Amino acid sequence: MKDTPVTPENDVTDAPARFPRLRRAAPALAAFAAVRLLGLAVLAGWGAVAGSSPHTLLSARWDSLWYARIAAEGYGYEVVLPSGAVHSNLAFFPLLPWLERLVAAVSGLSYGSAGLVVSVVAGLAAAWGIFAVADLFLGRRAGVLAVALWAALPVAVVQSMAYSEALFTALAAWALYGVLRGHWITAGLLAAGAGLTRPVGAAVVAALWVGAALAWRRGEGSWRTAAGVLLAPLGAAAYVLWVGHRTGGGLLGYLDVQAGWGNGFDGGWAFARFIGERLASSAFLAGVGLIAGVLLVLWLYRSCVRQGQPAAPLVYCGIVVALALCASGYFGSKPRLLLPAFPLLLPVAAALGRWGTRRAAAVPAVLAVCSAVYGAFWLNGSGPP
């Protein structure tokens, strides 16, 4: 693994230093915007035929409603199901609702619409962060392709919803960039923000800690490194401790809230049973597809290791994948939970980068069309939970 932080001396670049970073990233941002606009256009067309509202699908269904309610009323709302299970809004981390409240106060938009604004900005920030990380050790061409692939994933429509995936990925990608460049305080603050966004913020904290440990091992640690290490877990720790205090459950209070939703970590046993049930039923092909999907993810992660990615992205990606695949809960969420695992796309981007321009561009273009159609079908059907 390439554990040496990238510096201006060993940075891979093909543009004069006087060019601003935004100009260097412009093709990646343009590719991201084009793919997402295609997805929204197909969703609008589908809605016109089906009689559905794209705005409602993107901002006022599923988790979007929970985030908007938190922005409007704060925490304390819960639903008791006939089974006795309790769905509490304490399961949702606070950074997205805070930003929704801020945007709504400034713009006068509804909280759901404010969430869409946050996702648009966060999506562009995530695309730029993914490009920045890939550009450091693979170059500009692969960075653009990595962003295009991320924007064209099958469930990428979530990036345009009032969900927290785009926001979390933006914070995670830039935190990793900070670790790779040795910007420890910035990385620590971004990791703390990621910890206020989703439970999987722990992956960002772990990546920073591993990067810091390697820096100290090389004799490159400093007080800034220590500050980053201390800052990184503060966001998640603060929220988890607050939930524990509010519920009276102590350190395990947040886990109790998640258990009410049926979420937990069982090493993948529940997911394996779910696949087994598909294989033993008329949904056999669905079970085979799930196995193929899991094997593809594991193969991609192995490719990340063989590619020689730095330790921080590998640690981050490995934890995101492990939490997504090995958690119990609603299994339809797993593709969405894998969205932040963008390092999985870097080996593919590097391989495409060795092709001719037209051939390389054709792959994300085709995927973008498929993603747009599937996204419209998905949101007008079961949709993301």
pLDDT tens track for 1-54: 445 445 433 444 444 444 568 899 999 999 999 999 999 999 999 999 999 999
Sequence-separated (6 or more) residues with CB below 8 Å from residue 197:
93, 95, 96, 164, 167, 168, 171, 235
- DSSP structure class, residue 53: -
What per-residue string of b and e applies to 341-353 under the rule 16 or more CB within 10 Å gives b? bbbbbbbbbbebb
**Is residue 15 in a domain?**
no
CA distance 367 to 128: 20
**Is residue 6 in a domain?**
no
Q: Which two tokens stand for residue 37?
A: 């606009």
**Is residue 279 in a domain?**
yes
Reported as a single tens digit per residue, the pLDDT across 209-268 is 999 999 999 999 999 999 999 999 999 999 999 999 999 988 889 999 999 998 888 888
pLDDT of residue 328: 83
**Is residue 385 in a domain?**
no
Rounded to whole angstroms, the maximal C-alpha distance in the chain is 63
**Is residue 275 in a domain?**
yes
State the chain's mean pLDDT as an integer. Answer: 92
Q: What is the pTM of this model?
A: 0.93
What per-residue string of b and e applies to 279-303 under the rule 16 or more CB within 10 Å gives b? eeeeeeeebeebeebbeebeebbeb
pLDDT of residue 337: 94
Q: Give alpha helix (H) positions in the chain.
A: 21-50, 54-59, 63-73, 95-107, 111-138, 140-151, 165-181, 184-195, 201-217, 223-231, 234-247, 253-260, 269-279, 284-307, 311-326, 334-337, 346-353, 357-379
CA distance 137 to 150: 18
Domain span at 224: 21-379
Reported as a single tens digit per residue, the pLDDT across 121-138 is 999 999 999 999 999 999
Specify the number of domains making up the chain: 1
**Is residue 45 in a domain?**
yes
Taking each helix axis from N to C end, the angle separating 21-50 and 357-379, rounded to the nearest 10 degrees, works out to: 40
**Is residue 116 in a domain?**
yes
**Is residue 3 in a domain?**
no
Length of the chain, please? 385
